[in-house]
Amino acid sequence: MDLTKAFPRSPRITVHGVAMVARTADKARADASGTHVDLIDFEEGHDVPIRPS
């Protein structure tokens, strides 16, 4: 998964009744492929890329 082109799945999606598993898998795949982007959850919600100031 390339997090520079798409967001990870919603944290509300469940896998076998467990929340965050799909999202964690997406982030792990992105990290393994070197396309992980740090995301932050503040005023705009999930999946807002952290921009250096």
What is the pTM assigned to this prediction? 0.65
Q: How many domains does the chain have?
A: 1
Per the structure, the complete domain to which residue 10 belongs is given by: 1-53
What confidence tens digit (pLDDT) does each residue in 1-43 have?
787 888 888 888 999 999 889 988 988 898 888 887 776 655 5
Residue-level pLDDT at 27: 87
User: What DSSP letter does each residue of 1-53 carry, written as one string?
Assistant: --TTTSPPPPTT-EETTEETHHHHHHHHHHHHHT----EEEETTEEEEE----
46 pLDDT more than 90: no
